[in-house]
Amino acid sequence: MIILLHAELLPNVSVLAKIALCMQLTSVDRERSFSAQNRLKSKYRASLGAEKLDTLLTITMLGPPIESVDVKPAIKHWQRKKRRKQWLYSEYKPRAKKQKVEGTLQL
C-alpha cells in the first residue's frame, strides 16, 4: 500500500492505515459465536460455568465438523466409568407456579 511505503512522510496516517487494515469489516464471527453460545447454554444447562462454556465454544467454533469425528471410542470410555444419574428431559417437571389468592400466596 502506498501509505505504508511512505510512512516517514505521514507517520500518523501510516499508523491509522495499519490499524484499519487489521480491523474486521463484518461482525459475522461474533454473531456466529453468540448463536453457538445460545445453542450450548440452554435453560437445561443454566448452571454451566464460564470455563466449561468457553471450552465448549472453542470446540464448537474451531473444532472439526461433527461428521468427521469418530465418537465410538468416547462412548465406550464413558460407558466404562461408574454409573451416573441420567437426567431425562421427558421426566422434567417444572416448579409449581405461585398463585395469589385473596392477599396470600399459595403453592
Per-residue confidence (pLDDT) for residue 58, from 0 to 100: 92
pTM: 0.45
Q: Compute the average pLDDT of residues 70-82.
A: 86
The torsion region of residue 86 among left (phi > 0), alpha (psi -120 to 50) and beta comes to beta
Q: What proportions of the chain, in percent to the nearest 5, are helix, strand and coil? A: 55, 5, 40
pLDDT per residue over 35-61, tens digit each?
999 888 887 787 888 899 999 999 989
Residue 99 CB neighbours (<10 A)? 9
